[in-house]
Amino acid sequence: MHQPTNPRWRTVDIVIASVIAVAFGVIFWAWNLVWSATEGAFTFFPPAQAVIYGVWLLPGVLGGLIIRKPGAALYCEFVAAFVSVLLGSQWGMLAILQGLAQGVGAEAAFLATRYRSFRLPVAVLSGALAGLAAALFDQIRYYSEYDFDSFRLPVFVLTVVSAAIIAGAGGWALTRALAQTGVLDRFPAGRDRAAV
């Protein structure tokens, strides 16, 4: 555990969080196309498509790990969703609400440690909680008419697992990789390479 970070956002925090969010908003727009294009590959078992869901949850975890300020995970996930809608998300304005829910989930893990730990288990928990929020949203909005055992339960579980692995562990690995380059040296994540 580390000392709690100063909760005040610096200008550089706002700039980098915004860069992460906008970059992922563009990635989301592209990933929306990938999602649609890969539906046919999962006709053998449609819930299996959820294994690639975690990409949509990366900015929340990444923002939380890099910025290390209250609200960073929520901000990055929400703004990324907003940007994807501006670019033309096939889910329309609902993607903004979903981004908000996912951001709250990602933020909850960092809040639970009082913004003192940014290690792999916290990153995985952040991803998993973002995935849980996403899965709950999807169950209510998109899947309520589907069979529980053959569709809803598997897609729920796979969404959370994908989020924990891709967004959680993947976000942690990406933060470490960025820290090693020196681009994060103005952030605790860059100065404290062993803890990211």
Q: What is the pTM of this model?
A: 0.92
Number of neighbours of residue 141 by Cβ within 10 angstroms: 12
Asked if residue 50 lies in contact with residue 115, where contact means CB atoms within 8 angstroms, the answer is no
Across the chain, mean pLDDT equals: 92
Could you give the domains of the chain? 11-34+47-195 (1.10.1760)
Quick: pLDDT tens for 126-154.
Answer: 999 999 999 999 999 999 899 988 999 99
pLDDT of residue 195: 46
Give me the helices (H) in the chain, please: 11-38, 58-67, 72-87, 94-112, 120-141, 153-162, 170-181, 188-191
CA triple 152-145-51, angle to 5 deg: 30
Quick: pLDDT tens for 25-61.
Answer: 999 999 999 999 999 999 999 999 999 999 999 999 9
